[in-house]
Structure 1
Amino acid sequence: MHTSLTDPAPAEPTSPTPEELEHQKAAITRLGDELRALMEATVRTAASPDTLHRVADGVRHITGQLTGRRRARAEIPEVDEFPGGARMYSPVTGPGSPLAPPLHITPDADGLVGHCTLGIAHEGPPGYGHGGMSAMLLDELMGRACAAAGTAGLTGSLQMRYHRPVPLETPLRVLARITGTDDRKVFVSGSITTGADPDAPLVTADGVFVTPDPDRARALFPGLRPQG
């Protein structure tokens, strides 16, 4: 296709407005809610093989409707606030992720507190959460505590202690707080309890998070938008 010198240059892509971003987030959240319900129904069903095959065909058809450009591996979605903020597709906190409980985070006097309820899709031992889910919940919240304090970092180490099984379908309380710093290292503690008995720890953890220097951060996250 020939382009003359008088043809207008292609328009630069425009950034979405705050209203457009909120509309997109609402749509992502709605789809995430339905996908979580589907996943939970999938792992609980005793439907016949014929029904499962029919549903699988329907899911394949639905998947085919998610057309358009696909996000690249290191690309940060426009709906995300990275680092330290909301991430719509996080497998821990993301309302758009079918894997996430999701964990809802609020500030607390001692750091950050998160609330969630694990479903059958997160099961390890029958009736209880998978130990990896506990580690993921704590790793996420402890990292977010670092970011909330202005020292966003990557997990250097995470020491877990499992005191009691974490029950499914039970409101949980996850807590993370910073206990100290040493240059680029941030020391964080965390715990998981039930919401009904916050003084009885089910899982506790101690972690070391490391803040990368600016050059390293740019190398690790090439899609990171400039701050300020």
Structure 2
Amino acid sequence: MHTPLTEPPAEAGADSLEDQKAAITRLGHELRTLVETTVRTAASPDTLHRVADGVRQVTAQLTGRRRARAEIPEVDGFPGGPRMYSPVVGAGSPLAPPVSITPTDDGLIGHCTLGLAHEGPPGYGHGGMSAMLLDELMGQACTAAGTPGMTVSLQMRYHQPIPLETPLRILGRVTGTDNRKVFVTGTITTEADPSTRLVSADGVFIAPDPDRARALFPGLREEA
């Protein structure tokens, strides 16, 4: 019923990378649809068992070499570029909303809509999802400001619950630096009411020195 997902050897070059990204994006979209449908369904046990068998067959088609834990995907722009499998912004991730990000005059703004797959209290987003959204936007704001760093502190304040199936705005802005420390603020609001904060955060990020960066990310050694 399904055509095996076997492919000819990839050719090096920008065109092949763009083709790979397009395929990853398409699969990610379908997987997110599957996840959202799965958490909504009230199908019978027989149907669920049958679908589970079908998903297992599809998974078995993803043959070939598997990426190692610390390996940086060829389609990624790490550090500083797009991450195809990020659970926040990755177009190829079944976990991501995903968030689209654009620059502002003093930071970054993200746009996304959370579905039932991200639910905490019934009808609202999980608090940990809010933290992940803000951590991502605030970290990317550091990079956009020319001061990339890793999170060392994230203080969250939950003002109101995040509604599901509602377009959201996530803001990240660098407010200051102290040597390798970067201070950042972030907020989540709805698109319809950007003046009302639902969640806000203050964070401290720190830029690892080159030796520490190479130890944390061994895949960068060849590029260093």
Q: TM-score, normalization: structure 1?
A: 0.92
Give unpaired runs (5+ residues) of structure 1. 1-12
**Distance in 2 separating the partners of 1:99 and 1:121:** 8
2:29 is aligned with 1:29: no
Q: Which residue of 1 aligns with 2:122?
A: 126
CA-atom RMSD in angstroms: 1.3
Partner residue of 1:111 out of 107, 112, 124: 107
Whole-angstrom CA distance in 1 between matches of 2:154 and 2:45: 42
Query: Does 2:161 align with 1:171?
Result: no
What is the SS of the residue equivalent to 2:136? helix
User: What stretches of structure 2 of length at least 5 have no aligned partner?
Assistant: 1-8
What residue in structure 2 maps to residue 215 of structure 1?
211
Give runs of aligned pairs for residues 44-123 of structure 1, distance below 5 A. Answer: 44-123=40-119
Distance 1:109 1:16 in 2: 37
Deviation, 1:14, is 9.1
CA contact (8 A) 2:174 2:182 kept: yes
- Cα distance in 1 for residues equivalent to 2:85 and 2:99: 12
TM-score, structure 2 length as denominator?
0.94
Q: CA deviation at 1:109?
A: 1.1
Larger Rg: 1
Identity of aligned residues (%): 78
Q: Where in structure 1 do 4 or more consecutive aligned residues deviate above 4 Å? A: none
Distance in 1, matches of 2:38 and 2:123, equals 16
Deviations 1:152-209 (A, max 9, x none): 1110100000000000000000000000000000000000000011100000000000
Which range moved further: 143-152 or 118-127? 143-152
User: When the two structures are aligned, how many residues end up with a matched partner?
Assistant: 215
C-alpha distance in structure 1 between counterparts of 2:11 and 2:58, whole Å: 28
AA matched with 2:88: V
The answer to whether the aligner puts 1:137 opposite 2:145 as a matched pair is: no
2:223 to 185, 210, 226: 226
